[in-house]
Amino acid sequence: MILENNLTGENVQKQSWVQVRLDKSGEKGDVPTEYLYVLPTTSKPSNSTLAIFNDSNFEEHRTLYSQANGFNSHEKPHTLEEYAIDHFRPPPKNTFQRTLTFTSPRKRNAEQLWKHSRDPIKQPLLKKLLNKDELVQESSFAFNAILKYMGDLPSRRARSSNDLTDQIFEGPLKYDILRDEIYCQIMKQLTDNKNRLSEEKGWELMWLATGLFVPSQALLRQLTLFLKTRRHPVAMDSLQRLHKTLRNGQRKYPPHLVEVEAIQHKTTQIFHKVYFPDDTDEAFEVDSSTRAKDFCLEIAQRLNLKSAEGFSLFVKIADKVISVPEGDFFFDFVRHLTDWIRKARSSRDGSVPQFTYQVFFMKKLWTNTIPGKDRNADIRFHYHQELPKLLRGYHKCTKEDAARLAALILRVRFGDSKYPMELQSIHNFLHEIIPNDLIKTQSSSEWKKQILNLYNQDTGMTPENAKITFLKYVHKWPTFGSAFFEVKQTGDTTNYPEHLLIAINKNGVSLIDPNTKNILVTHPFTRISNWSSGITYFHMTIGNLVRGSKLLCETSLGYKMDDLLTSYISLMLNNLNKQKNTIKSSK
């Protein structure tokens, strides 16, 4: 056989299939590389030389390879041979292996369904699925994808990294009964697999599967023994992942691209960058079974925060920033969100748009936030999250308040410098220290004089103390710790202006006049009976569902308002339940 398309011996080592031409007949075709032996020579070898490389020698070579690479030689590798007797469908009689038809055909008396094969299947391995048409189709579809992923079946079409893994794992995540079938298919393809590249890809699938779901109790023992008796480096890691999945629960969605690419690059540890409000970031290890709550606790511990209460992970993708529910698996949420955004913004030309995302860790619920109580949280989070709200003019703030806070902002920026040169040109960055609705209420020179006078009174104050002093000042305001939303309301134009500023905080939902910053009304969470949101709106019912009043708002941030309201009310109900349980236990 002669390699075609300028292929070399290196391609044989790195690919599962290559195109060859038979020297005698001139026929061309794809050949699995496991049946090829690269003979380095500058001229055609003699017939006597070729005779050395016969079938028996190849069989001996492959046996030695499997002993050296497939399992622990001191312990017989566990297979599904015994399990298959009771649980697999009967094998078809007198089947032939269709690969390598140009050499002597390898006839089998009966196909061994529990061993590696290059042939697609038309029926599931497990006989319990045979009478379920939809599951039969799903099983053969998944196995076909496994063959393509492992390189046992040529696939001409270029694919993204998780196209095939989606095809393999969507079925068992949808139908519990398919989970045993997928594990059996993967173990089958890892049993007596003579192709090193195919075997490596099979272990990638095993690693991914064990991080998604577990098999039934009947198959769990088989899978555990299978993994324990292999010495492949991914085997033990897969066993650990299986135990984690048993302990933490099963996923809802196929592996995220990050997970697939990690194992494809032989990396079983995934480190994810997390961004913080103070413009810093750190990398944290996250795995397939990491839930958002666990992730938050790990971050809080690393940053020496006194508590993770009120903090949340946020995913920024496209033009949206969405909070991750604490009970969700991190990669499940990101996968679901990415798919949702992709479907909503499908390209007109039919191509699939690709989106990158960033993960942020921030304070979300400010129920028990008291400045000075958690110094690290104040310095790294609370100050940097409250400052933009002040500068956008959301708080009701006097000129005196603004000047005092501006002096503290300068202390944060310049530390204990008595009179830095930058203050000479303070008029150039007033928008960075004064609320935007107050800048023009007096001249730049008046602002400069007033701010510098207050700045000099704080000589010796460190930037960290300036941040905490700033927070203690704004903590006195009823809008401290609020999330603000500029909306257009269409429900009650008699009592409220058309344009409103809505603040959601620990006290409830406040409606604010955007011009005067006066709080028109605050609806406590106990009075809010219903709410809903869409792409362009947010609706809320106050009081009785029948006779209560309704707030109808036009906004593109309805999803954020909905999530925040849900989170505050859930926290309130959880706290009430804790109080009730405490009272009961004390009686």
- What are the residues whose beta carbons fall under 8 Å from the beta carbon of 290, sequence distance 6 or more? 329, 330, 331
What digits encode the pLDDT tens for the residues 557-578?
A: 999 999 999 999 999 998 888 8
- State whether 139 and 256 are in the same domain: yes
What is the spatial distance between Cα 265 and Cα 149, in angstroms, rounded to a whole number?
15
Read off the tokens for 405: 């806070």
Q: Is residue 567 part of a domain?
A: yes
For residue 130, the domain's CATH number is 1.25.40.530
Check whether residue 333 and residue 420 sit in a common domain.
no
- CATH code (residue 525): 2.30.29.30
**Which domain CATH number covers 393?**
1.20.80.10
The residue segments making up the domain with residue 404 are: 375-474
Nearest Cα to Cα of residue 259 among 155, 185, 169, 177: 169
Gap between the Cα atoms of 505 and 480, Å rounded = 8
Helix axes 178-189 and 217-228, enclosed angle (nearest 10): 20
H or E segment and range at residue 285: strand 281-285
Same domain, 323 and 459: no
- Same domain flag for 138 and 226: yes
Backbone angles phi, psi at 370, to 5 degrees: -125, 115
pLDDT at 236: 96
Residue 61 lies in a domain: no
Note whether residue 60 is domain-resident. no
**What CA dihedral angle connects 109, 113, 119 and 123, to 10 degrees?**
110
Question: Do 529 and 569 fall into the same domain?
Answer: yes
Pick out the chain residues at pLDDT < 70: 1, 4-7, 9-18, 23-24, 31-37, 39-40, 42, 47-74, 93-111, 158, 346-354, 418-419, 586-587
Q: Identify the domain boundary among 310, 334, 363.
A: 363
Find the CATH number of the domain harbouring 13.
Answer: 2.30.30.40
- Examine the fold and report which residue of 474, 499, 514 is the final residue of a domain before the chain moves on: 474
How far apart (Å, rounded) are the C-alpha atoms in residues 433 and 390? Answer: 9
> Is 465 in the same domain as 503?
no
On whether both 150 and 196 belong to a single domain, the answer is yes
Residue 75 domain-assigned (yes or no): no
One domain for residues 236 and 93:
yes
* Residue 61 CB coordination number (10 Å): 12
Is residue 30 helix, strand or coil? Answer: strand
Domains identified in the chain, total number = 5
Position 216: which residue type? S
| pLDDT given for residue 376 in this prediction | 98
- Neighbour tally for 380: CB within 10 Å: 20
- What's the pLDDT tens digit per position in 63-80? 444 444 444 445 789 999
Phi, psi torsion values for 243, nearest 5 degrees: -65, -40
Q: Which of 180, 186, 232, 223 is nearest to 208 (CA)?
A: 186
In order of 363, 393, 484, the CA distances from 369 in angstroms are 10, 22, 17
Q: Are residues 340 and 381 in the same domain?
A: no
Give the model's pLDDT for residue 54. Answer: 57
Q: Does 521 fall in a domain? A: yes
Contacts 24+ apart (CB under 8 A), 411-420: 411/455, 411/458, 411/461, 411/463, 411/466, 412/383, 412/463, 412/466, 412/467, 412/470, 413/463, 415/462, 415/463, 416/459, 416/460, 416/461, 416/462, 418/456, 418/459, 419/456
Whole-angstrom distance, CA of residue 34 vs CA of residue 13: 9
Q: Is the distance from CB of 106 to CB of 84 less than 8 angstroms?
A: no
Predicted local confidence at residue 13, as pLDDT: 61
Residues in the chain: 587
Residue 66 placed within a domain: no
518-521 own/partner pairs: CB under 8 Å, 24+ apart: 518/396, 519/396, 519/478, 519/479, 520/495, 520/496
For 173-209, the DSSP string reads HH-TTHHHHHHHHHHHHTSS---HHHHHHHHHHHHHH
Tell whether 386 and 454 lie within a shared domain: yes
Cα–Cα distance, 333 to 325 (Å, whole number)? 8
Same domain for 94 and 164, yes or no, is: yes
Q: Is residue 279 part of a domain?
A: yes
| Distance from C-alpha of 544 to C-alpha of 529, rounded to nearest angstrom | 7
Sign, CA torsion 109/114/116/119: positive
Domain limit, last residue, from 311, 338, 363: 363
Same domain, residue pair 320 and 399 = no
Residue 368 in domain: no
Phi–psi pair at 329, nearest 5 degrees: -65, 135
Q: What is the pLDDT of residue 53?
A: 59
